[in-house]
Chains A and B, each alone.
Chain A
Amino acid sequence: MDPKERSIDKASQEMIARMAEAGQQNAWDRLDAQAPQCGFGKQGICCRICTMGPCRITKKAPLGVCGATADTIAARNLLRMIASGAAAHSDHGRDVAHTFKMAIESDSCDYTIKDELKLREVAARYGIKVEGRDTKEIGSDLANAVLAEFGKQDGTLVSIAAYPPPARQKVWEELGVTPRAIDREIVEIMHRTHMGVGSDHKNLIKQGIRASLADGWGGSLIATELSDILFGSPWPIRFGANLGVLDAKKVNIIVHGHEPSLSDIIVAVSQEPELIKMAEDKGATGINLSGICCTSNEILMRHGIPVAGNFLQQELALMTSVVEVMLVDVQCIMPSLGSLSNCFHTKLITTSPKCKIDGAEHIEFHEDRAIETARKIIKIAIENFENRKGKGKIPKATERGIAGFTTENIFYHLGGRFRSSYRPLNDNIINGRIRGAAGVVGCNNPKQVHDYGHLTMIKELIKNDVIVVSTGCSALAAGKAGLMRPDAAAKYCGEGLAEVCEAVGIPPVLHVGSCVDNSRILTILSNIVAEGGLGEDISELPAAGAAPEWMSEKAVSIGMYFVASGVYTVIGEPLPILGAPNLTRYLTEEIEKDFGGKWAFERDPIKAAHMMIEHIESKRDALGINKEKERKLYDMADRRALTIE
């Protein structure tokens, strides 16, 4: 198949062609081999929950053995996807929380607190007294409070009362979906979807919502907040992107996966003179670190470490044959890497006890011996440099951009130290220069031309003056395509958005982090609501979300927490529920009455973008900000009526 039909990314096209020449299989090839894929699975109406089955719903057999309908079966399957997605994010959050606790409690720990200000802010949100107390005291209380969120038996999540707008909290309370404890909601999904428990699809979905909210406003949010405290809050930083960042003359180490704990230490250690000297002794000019997937996002936004690629480029990266070590932690790591790496000198190293891969070397990472482990892995890479065969093949294509936007630093960028505020953002949404905001996030999926969905949608949105925030592999796609360059504003945006980008000096697509950092999008939306002038709830905002190339269960959890937070969410591949008519109708229509957000499925990114724009305009109409307004001029009484808070 023509590589152009597989990816629109030039570097990837080059490497796809090279794989074909070398007779190596990749995800696209395996997708072809899978065809035709199971229609029942796609529609969500295959039930393997008990051994009376497997059951699949057809016209002839509309009920499972136990009597479950298509709606029940698809809802249960969907819930289990949410459980897995929420578990992945939240377990990540838990690991960061444990590292944080260790950093606070131990004086000899390799981790320290990098952002004390944020520590205090987050602690205050968790109701912890900060005044007159030192970092250790506050941090210790915060660690305990945060860890309690996972398993507590009483009450509801502290963060759910501390971060979202009050109006949103009320919606959840009234609908009975306020999450209680992060792990509990996941466990309850498994219970409720066991054979013979619930069959009412709406009641099942409620638990899916509750678990997803525990992810977005709980586990993911904890991962974001504590990572900022522990590894430093991101700040706008330049980065290079795409396979061209690999350096033929240097020892190449690619970090891949999702968690920052090890990779952040690798960043620090990789520049130790002793190790660089060692690399030079082996004939390399230095050590070159780059990343794939969200581990990449984590160290790119904090340290400017270049991006080698996104999800579908993991195999392509190995194919360059210049990678000494690919170091992986958890999530989105293709099992195929094991055998592929064995075709080259590349060592695939797994580090998490949760993730061992056939064909990989396992060096277990322990937070209490972080530096030691990092050094050991880097040394393996250096040693391996001499095993490299030939020059390898590195595609030339690279791009540069700016990453590192956060909920907190937006305040500064819009007003400096003295006038820090979201006001300019709200103002320019109200005056229509910016029509609205979109979160474009999510994975790659070989069913879509690689990166095409992200880039086409994003370009269409910014052309129509919708500002885009992006995370995960979508963000990496945008970075590789130059959409995170500040001069992209003049090139791709409508006049209004371009003016605002020029005024602030920002790119039209803001990199806000990894996939757990979708929690940043939630808190950004909350801040916009709090700034005022655009309604009382997230559901009133002219905003929409999208995951044009999604594939993972995490994306289902993310999509669900956005919908339940009031955001219209359009995804490329439909949820596996289309065989369940009532469930489909609920999630794509009726749910909006309850939660203010809903799902939509559209593979064509241009059409999807226009569905989002239409939604944004309808919200603008409802807010009354689409009406032409005369400039208000202020007399003394008007001036006096203005608050000065």
Chain B
Amino acid sequence: MSKIIASAAIRGAHKIAKEAEGILTKAISEKGEDCRVEFPNTGYYMPIIYSMTGMAVEKLSDFKEVMQEIKGLLPPHVNDDLWVPYLGHTLDAGMATLFAEEMIEACKYLIGPNPVDDIWLGAADDIILRERGIQFVDGTAPGFAAIVGAAPNVETAVEIARKLQERSLYVFMSGHNNGTTFSEQLAEGGVQLGWETRLIPFGREITSAIYALGFASRAALSFGGVQAGDFRRNLLYNKNRIFAFVMAMGEVTDEWYATAAGAINYGFPVIADSDIPEILPTGVCTYEHVVSNIPYDQIVEKAVEVRGLKVKITEIPIPVSVSPAFEGERIRKEEMHCEFGGQRTPAFEWLRMRDISEVEDANVEVIGPDSDSLEPGGRLPLGIIVEVAGRKMQPDFEPVLERQIHTFLNEAQGLWHMGQRDINWVRISKGAAKAGFTLEHIGKLLHAKLHDEYSSILDKVQVKIYTDEKQVEELRQQAQAVYTDRDARLAGMQDEDIDTFYSCTLCQSFAPNHVCVVSPERPGLCGAYSWLDCRAAFEITPSGPNQPIAKGSCVDPTIGQWDKVNEFVIKTSGGNIERMSQYSMIADPMTSCGCFECIAAVLPSTGGIMIVNREYSDMTPCGMKFSTLAGTVGGGQQTPGFIGHSKHYICSKKFIHAEGGIQRIVWMPKVLKEEIKDALSERIKEIGFEPEEFLAKIADETTATTEEEVLEFITKNEHPVATLEPMF
């Protein structure tokens, strides 16, 4: 800390603490001490307070204890003549500030002004946390820029945001400067705000910065396997995994300094446009703590350098920017230059493997009229055929790579893609068309991205794009035949047919004992890795987290244990897990990292199980919400009676095969039931039930919210679980 910064931050902390005390008194007088307080649809209570202290704030009166904690943290003001060390004090003051700001924002939800208003989003709910937080774990998002204040003008704001997006960073915005905010500047510049474009307007006041830091803390709790109250691991997780930084735009007030001091606890440095003192010695952050007076055209590069972040910006020879940050961008009809497919014109996309002699690398052909021949609002048929060749390419990788077309296309700014195979739908925005983007660039984009990410299995990529209706329809028939063929092969793929499973230890960085064993009939619990994906990933990175496991001989086919798999698990779990079953949630169940889409839990009195998906934030019949359950199940421990799993696995033949499969399901949230209805119906038919009838016997939150109610419901509806042997 510089003395000036320390003095200001400590002053700011005292001011914000006082403000918090005031708003708390007001909230209590208006709503009463017992009034429930929360950030809507989030677990983890007040996430910063909870993650740092373990205090679960549930009602307003709980804040009184937090206030004591804040007062305990608030240091004395810095003596001007003979000061005592202030770095520790300032960091504590920063943390006290974040606690106080969480109080302020939470009270605003109760007594207003409502943090969610106009463009302002307030706290991210748990569904967003799940969707977006995982990107910080898998690296799709290296971190975030917490922008405080406002740029000097709209153009500068737009330019800075675009540069941050190009680097795949999330942009979390709070605070105001000179009467405006960075968020409002972007809105004025016509930039689409929201989680889809990674540009998040949290709030006008500096206090809303806690939504950014709270998100970081929640990510560590949720994906990092960090326990509440384990502040050290939470902060170090953020320092070493989530490469975020604060970008202070405009006059830095005492309150900004105080909040920034809180952020420095997380290892997030401050990059300022104004001329404030710098703190260059390293230690709490990876490199410098505060750098200042950075010109706007260099501020993004400087921020990335100060944070120590390496971001790969692949130069792709197309006239628009490419980054995962643009993936969620929507193109509405009025912004659209032209479109393809989407039931409006015939379209398809197909990736196939060819002999190396048949592929001319980087060859992109557009056969038929290109998009620049269209008037605004125009439509064309579209057939995209990507032909790849490589010594390590295998036909089984075709669908894995083909699925990437969706991601790659969406990453281009001004290009929008939905669906897959022959139900795809593509739009090119007016902006992109104006920049000179045509169909040819789709080919160049796919060529570049496939090489970039799959160079270890691909040597050559060529792309042919067809827009002639007749040709598209003919080729689509060929493609459809291939799709059918692939489905049949995949559907028929059984664990018994192959002798190798794959491991996934991607999450061992935070759940060191955990190892996923991925088989054709039990995909990874995060839902992101099928057996084929793992196989491809192994080919792409042979020393990576996906390793082949020769099954060896079967120990028990019902629970799904193989001797070599067990050996592998012992070794990879560091000796912590001795046996693991692929098909049982009772006998040596598979461990979980923390990324599971769903949790299955036994409801003992019913003889069945409930399944809850991550998006469901209400209480479940087992007496725990998803977030609490996740704490029990995650972290690489075997917890008989509980497993984390993917949604896909529910419809697998091997779903808790040892316990009787889907006949055990007695409760699921309605939304989950809907989501997997088609595939589940197929499975229900296979076991000889009528799908509608069977589904109606499974309770949901509208029919039962406690275990007793579930029992009552299934008894009344004659759920088949009653005919099964007891589970224990």
Q: Is A417 an interface residue (CB 8 A)?
A: yes
Q: Is the CB of A431 within 8 A of B1?
A: no
A-B contact count (CB 8 A): 147
Q: Is A415 an interface residue (CB 8 A)?
A: yes
Query: What 1/0 flags go to A496-513 for Cβ under 8 Å of B?
Result: 000110111110000000
Q: Is A628 an interface residue (CB 8 A)?
A: no
Q: Is the CB of B2 within 8 A of A416?
A: no
A414 to B243, CA, bound (A): 21
Q: Is A400 an interface residue (CB 8 A)?
A: yes
A412 to chain B, nearest CB (A): 5
Q: Is the CB of B309 within 8 A of A413?
A: no
- Find the residue from A419, A502, A633 having the highest chain B CB count within 10 A: A419
> Which chain A residues lie closer than 8 Å to B283 at the CB level?
414-415, 421, 423-428
> Which chain A residues lie closer than 8 Å to B138 at the CB level?
636
Q: Is the CB of B509 within 8 A of A505?
A: no
With contacts A502-B3, A504-B87, A505-B3 taken as known, whether A415 is within 8 angstroms of B284 at the C-beta atoms is: yes
> Which chain A residues lie closer than 8 Å to B81 at the CB level?
487
B634 to chain A, nearest CB (A): 16
Name which of A211-219, A331-339, A588-596, A637-645 contacts chain B: A637-645
> Which chain A residues lie closer than 8 Å to B308 at the CB level?
631-634
Q: Is A402 an interface residue (CB 8 A)?
A: yes
Q: Is B454 an interface residue (CB 8 A)?
A: no
Q: Is B265 an interface residue (CB 8 A)?
A: yes
Q: Is B148 an interface residue (CB 8 A)?
A: no
Q: Which residue of B lies closest to A405 (CB)?
A: B85
A428 touches which one: B2, B3, B243, B282 (CB < 8 A)? B282
> Which chain B residues lie closer than 8 Å to A485 at the CB level?
82
Q: Is the CB of B85 within 8 A of A505?
A: yes
> Which chain A residues lie closer than 8 Å to B224 at the CB level?
644
> Which chain A residues lie closer than 8 Å to B89 at the CB level?
416, 505
The residues in B between 125 and 156 inclusive whose CB is less than 8 angstroms from any CB of A are 138-139, 142
A301 to chain B, nearest CB (A): 13
With contacts A500-B281, A503-B2, A644-B224 taken as known, whether A417 is within 8 angstroms of B92 at the C-beta atoms is: yes
Q: Is the CB of B243 within 8 A of A400?
A: no
Query: What 1/0 flags go to B1-19 for Cβ under 8 Å of A?
Result: 1110010000000000000
Query: What 1/0 flags go to B86-115 for Cβ under 8 Å of A?
Result: 111111101100000000000000000000
B12 to chain A, nearest CB (A): 16
Q: Is the CB of B85 within 8 A of A643?
A: no
Query: What 1/0 flags go to A603-635 for Cβ under 8 Å of B?
Result: 000000000000000000000000000011111
Q: Is the CB of A419 within 8 A of B1?
A: no
Q: Is the CB of A416 within 8 A of B281?
A: no
Q: Is B240 an interface residue (CB 8 A)?
A: yes
Q: Is B677 an interface residue (CB 8 A)?
A: no
Q: Is the CB of A634 within 8 A of B310?
A: yes
Q: Is B710 an interface residue (CB 8 A)?
A: no
The residues in B between 209 and 243 inclusive whose CB is less than 8 angstroms from any CB of A are 224, 231-233, 235-237, 240-241, 243
Q: Is A433 an interface residue (CB 8 A)?
A: yes
B243 touches which one: A417, A487, A634, A644 (CB < 8 A)? A634
Q: Is B65 an interface residue (CB 8 A)?
A: no
Q: Is B510 an interface residue (CB 8 A)?
A: yes
> Which chain B residues lie closer than 8 Å to A433 at the CB level?
281
With contacts A416-B92, A633-B309, A640-B509 taken as known, whether A505 is within 8 angstroms of B235 at the C-beta atoms is: no
B87 touches which one: A237, A416, A635 (CB < 8 A)? A416
With contacts A499-B280, A499-B281, A500-B281 taken as known, whether A416 is within 8 angstroms of B265 at the C-beta atoms is: yes
Q: Is B320 an interface residue (CB 8 A)?
A: no
A237 to B79, CA, bound (A): 12
Q: Is B297 an interface residue (CB 8 A)?
A: no
Q: Is A43 an interface residue (CB 8 A)?
A: no
Q: Is B483 an interface residue (CB 8 A)?
A: no
Q: Is A238 an interface residue (CB 8 A)?
A: yes
Q: Is B84 an interface residue (CB 8 A)?
A: yes
Q: Is the CB of B281 within 8 A of A424?
A: yes
> Which chain A residues lie closer than 8 Å to B287 at the CB level?
631
Q: Is the CB of B312 within 8 A of A635?
A: yes
Q: Is A420 an interface residue (CB 8 A)?
A: yes
> Which chain A residues lie closer than 8 Å to B82 at the CB level?
238, 400-402, 485-486
With contacts A427-B282, A644-B240 taken as known, whether A633 is within 8 angstroms of B310 at the C-beta atoms is: yes
> Which chain B residues lie closer than 8 Å to A500 at the CB level?
281
A324 to B527, CA, bound (A): 83
A422 to chain B, nearest CB (A): 9
A505 touches which one: B52, B83, B236 (CB < 8 A)? B83
Q: Is B289 an interface residue (CB 8 A)?
A: yes
Q: Which residue of A lies closest to B283 (CB)?
A: A424
Q: Is B318 an interface residue (CB 8 A)?
A: no
A48 to B52, CA, bound (A): 66
A643 to B241, CA, bound (A): 9
Q: Is the CB of B85 within 8 A of A504?
A: yes
Q: Is the CB of B87 within 8 A of A414?
A: yes
Q: Is the CB of B88 within 8 A of A417?
A: yes
> Which chain A residues lie closer than 8 Å to B280 at the CB level?
499, 503
Q: Which residue of B lies closest to A401 (CB)?
A: B82
Q: Is B718 an interface residue (CB 8 A)?
A: no
A406 to chain B, nearest CB (A): 12
A644 to chain B, nearest CB (A): 5
Q: Is B305 an interface residue (CB 8 A)?
A: yes
> Which chain B residues lie closer than 8 Å to A636 at the CB level?
138-139, 142
Q: Is the CB of A639 within 8 A of B3?
A: no
B224 to chain A, nearest CB (A): 7
Q: Is the CB of B281 within 8 A of A414?
A: no
A101 to B78, CA, bound (A): 39
B310 touches which one: A413, A635, A645 (CB < 8 A)? A635
Query: What 1/0 flags go to B274-318 for Cβ under 8 Å of A?
Result: 000001111110110100000000000000110011111000000
The residues in B between 6 and 58 inclusive whose CB is less than 8 angstroms from any CB of A are 6, 52
Q: Which residue of B lies closest to A423 (CB)?
A: B283
Q: Is A442 an interface residue (CB 8 A)?
A: no
Q: Is A236 an interface residue (CB 8 A)?
A: yes
B153 to chain A, nearest CB (A): 30
Q: Which residue of A lies closest to B278 (CB)?
A: A499
> Which chain A residues lie closer than 8 Å to B286 at the CB level?
634
B191 to chain A, nearest CB (A): 27
With contacts A428-B282, A486-B82, A499-B281 taken as known, whether A505 is within 8 angstroms of B87 at the C-beta atoms is: yes
A645 to B312, CA, bound (A): 28
With contacts A400-B82, A402-B82, A644-B237 taken as known, whether A416 is within 8 angstroms of B88 at the C-beta atoms is: yes
> Which chain A residues lie closer than 8 Å to B570 at the CB level?
none
Q: Is the CB of B90 within 8 A of A416?
A: yes
A238 to B241, CA, bound (A): 40
Q: Is the CB of A431 within 8 A of B282?
A: yes
Q: Is the CB of B282 within 8 A of A638?
A: no
Q: Which residue of B lies closest to A412 (CB)?
A: B88
A420 to B284, CA, bound (A): 9
Q: Is B73 an interface residue (CB 8 A)?
A: yes
Q: Is the CB of A418 within 8 A of B2?
A: no
Query: What 1/0 flags go to B388-422 for Cβ under 8 Å of A?
Result: 00000000000000000000000000000000000
A420 to B88, CA, bound (A): 8
With contacts A419-B265, A635-B312, A644-B233 taken as known, whether A506 is within 8 angstroms of B139 at the C-beta atoms is: no
A280 to chain B, nearest CB (A): 29
The 8 closest A-B pairs by CB, nearest first: A424-B283, A416-B91, A636-B139, A505-B86, A633-B310, A642-B240, A416-B88, A236-B84
Interchain Cβ contacts under 8 Å between A and B, 14 examples = A236-B84, A238-B82, A414-B88, A415-B91, A418-B232, A421-B284, A427-B283, A486-B83, A502-B2, A503-B1, A636-B139, A642-B241, A644-B224, A645-B236
A-B contact sample (14 more), CB < 8 A, given A419-B235, A428-B283: A400-B82, A413-B85, A417-B92, A418-B91, A418-B235, A421-B284, A423-B284, A428-B281, A433-B281, A502-B3, A503-B280, A505-B87, A633-B308, A639-B240
